[in-house]
Amino acid sequence: MKEMWSVAPARYTSTKNDNTLSDAVLWHSVEDDKVVCDLCAHRCTILPGKAGICKVRLNDGGILKTCVHNLLIAAHSDPIEKKPLFHFLPGTISFSIATVGCNFRCRFCQNWQISQHAREHEGVSGDRTAPELVVKAALESGAASISYTYTEPTIFFETCEAVGLLARQAGMKNVFVSNGYLTPEAVERARPFLDGVNVDLKGFDDGRYRRVCGATLNGVLTGIDAILKAGIWLEVTTLVVPGVNDSDAELTAIARHIAGLKRSIPWHISRFHPDYKMDDGAPTSIETLVRAAEIGRAEGLEFVYLGNVPGHDTENTYCPKCATMIFERYGFRLTRHELDVDRCPNCRTPIPGVFTT
């Protein structure tokens, strides 16, 4: 992976003339100069001089500002399979960017150094970069898409929108790798540029969502519904954490809900490794992941994949009707491609996905 920019520190304050702040989108005013952010399902009511739960959206004298607009903390060229997206331009490169910040506080976060940066360090860092330069770098890397990932794209929506609209004009597609906590208004605003989303559905117990992630299950499910309603391609990932969401009952509830929405939604079952505030446990066993995959298929899901287990047969895509191998993978590398435009080459069954630019 090639890193395109170094990191330059930049602190934010609540000063009205602070040039690190930019106007935010999707908010409204309430009494006493308070504002309500309508970007994610927290819908934070923010007092003057204070930030929302994400710590990167600030009430600056009754006006909502973003502290991270175009302030990139990471920029890499990744295989699209790393997102993970297996039915979205497979085998292509996706230019991936992020700012610091997140609207969740997951105790097992795998990217906590940047997602929780604003919360841990009470400030933001990054390299301020024009959207035009991001698109230029993406084109030069040979990318077919730009992914807004590593942290939660919802909280740097203004950057996603500015870059995404230019990327569309340049013939590239755009992807969110998200916790799914978008409001219907945010999804509607993203429709002109957003082509695909991978939502991390972290479990199916609201109490545990609140305790472990600092969010609600219903907010995620509402976001997923809005993405599907908007006609944006959706894949779902569940990081299976031992002792947290690995029971048969919870895995069944997740799989059943996805299948109830659409059986053709790909479900990625990802292996946990100890990190952040849950760094004293053990990685998810292969047996647990295989059991989760069996549950997914038993609930009717047509495409179930294991993640972080290179070389396992469940990395591959098979026709749901005749079981012909369509895509063979090893880790994030596509090693075989048998799709005939968008159909199984053997029985001509349509394979759902986004396969052309």
Q: How far apart are CA 307 and CA 288, in angstroms?
A: 12
Q: Which two three-digit tokens encode residue 188? A: 């509607």
Q: How far apart are CA 338 and CA 344, in angstroms?
A: 8
Q: What is the pLDDT of residue 288?
A: 96
Q: What is the pLDDT of residue 15?
A: 31
pLDDT tens digits, residue range 19-56? 579 999 999 999 999 999 999 999 999 999 999 999 99
What is the CB-side half-sphere exposure of residue 127 using CA atoms within 13 A?
A: 14
Q: How far apart are CA 33 and CA 131, in angstroms?
A: 31
Do residues 88 and 339 make contact, with C-beta atoms less than 8 angstroms apart? no
String of DSSP letters for 76-126: EEEEGGGTT-SSBSTT-EEEEEE-S--S---TT-TTHHHHTHHHHHSSEE-
C-alpha Rg value of the chain to the nearest Å? 20
Please confirm whether the linkage preceding 352 is cis (ω < 30° from 0): no
Q: Which residue has the tokens 């630019």?
A: 357
Do residues 239 and 200 make contact, with C-beta atoms less than 8 angstroms apart? yes
Q: What is the pLDDT of residue 312?
A: 86
Q: What is the pLDDT of residue 10?
A: 35
Three-state DSSP class for residue 207: helix
Q: How far apart are CA 160 and CA 175, in angstroms?
A: 9
Q: What is the pLDDT of residue 313?
A: 87
Q: What is the pLDDT of residue 355?
A: 95
pLDDT tens digits, residue range 67-119? 999 999 999 999 999 999 999 999 999 999 999 999 999 999 989 999 999 88
Helix (H), strand (E) at residue 223 = helix 217-229
Count the neighbouring beta carbons within 10 Å of the beta carbon of residue 82: 17
Residue 287: C-alpha distances to residues 51, 85, 204, 250 (Å):
43, 23, 21, 16
Helix (H), strand (E) at residue 197 = strand 196-200
What is the CB-side half-sphere exposure of residue 300 using CA atoms within 13 A?
A: 10
Q: Which two three-digit tokens encode residue 317? A: 């895509």
Domains along the chain with CATH numbers: 9-66 (no CATH), 71-337 (3.20.20.70)
Burial 102-120 (b: 16+ CB within 10 A, else e): bbbbbbbbbbbebbbbbbe
Q: What is the pLDDT of residue 307?
A: 87
Q: What is the pLDDT of residue 12?
A: 33
Do residues 193 and 172 make contact, with C-beta atoms less than 8 angstroms apart? no
Q: What is the pLDDT of residue 190?
A: 98
String of DSSP letters for 130-163: -HHHHHHHHHHTT-SEEEE-SS-GGGGHHHHHHH
Helix (H), strand (E) at residue 333 = strand 333-337
**pLDDT tens over the chain, length 357 residues:** 334 433 333 333 333 334 579 999 999 999 999 999 999 999 999 999 999 999 999 999 999 999 999 999 999 999 999 999 999 999 999 999 999 999 999 999 989 999 999 888 878 999 999 999 999 999 999 999 999 999 999 999 999 999 999 999 999 999 999 999 999 999 999 999 999 999 999 999 999 999 999 999 999 999 999 999 999 999 999 999 999 999 999 999 999 999 999 999 999 999 999 989 988 888 999 999 999 999 999 999 999 999 888 888 899 999 999 999 999 999 899 999 999 999 999 999 999 999 987
Burial 248-265 (b: 16+ CB within 10 A, else e): eebbbbbbbbbbeeeebb
Torsion sign over Cα 53, 55, 60, 66:
negative
Q: What is the pLDDT of residue 279?
A: 87
Residue 84: C-alpha distances to residues 93, 268, 347 (Å):
12, 8, 27
Closest CA relative to residue 51, chosen from 18, 17, 12, 25: 12
Q: pTM (2 decimals)?
A: 0.93
Residue 80 carries which side chain, given as an amino acid letter? I
The neighbouring-strand residues paired with 46 are: 35
Do residues 331 and 307 make contact, with C-beta atoms less than 8 angstroms apart? no
Q: What is the pLDDT of residue 17?
A: 35
